[in-house]
Amino acid sequence: MRLNRMTDLKLLQFPCRYPIKVMIRTGVAVREHLDAVVQRHAGPLAPDDITERPSAQQNFAGITYAITARDEAHIVALFIELKDLPGVLMVL
């Protein structure tokens, strides 16, 4: 069974740890822009809070940020800004 991500947010108790995965095309400055947006919304993250996994062909990467979400609006605002960045394919 597949659940609606936004409906799932209502089941969370805030503040909470929340992973956000971003699929990107590898290339010029995409990662730097992502890091800047996440830091603006969630504050500085420890290196252990960020993981990156390249695709087999090195054309794409999945980056996961484990943030402390304050509320549903906090997560939604971050998703919206991340989705608008050039080079971002998907935000989960």
Whether residue 11 lies inside any domain: the answer is: no
CATH for 45: 3.30.70.260
Asked, for residue 4, whether it belongs to a domain, the answer is no
Within a domain: 1 = no
Instruction: Give the integer Cα–Cα distance in Å for 46 and 2.
Output: 31
15: closest CA among 70, 67, 57? Answer: 70
What domain range includes position 25? Answer: 16-91
- pLDDT band for position 27 (cuts 50, 70, 90): confident
Domain count, the chain: 1
pLDDT of residue 7: 57
**Digit-coded pLDDT (tens) for 38-88:** 999 999 999 999 999 999 999 999 999 999 999 999 999 999 999 999 999
Question: What is the model's pTM?
Answer: 0.85
Q: Is residue 8 part of a domain?
A: no
pLDDT for the residue 83: 96
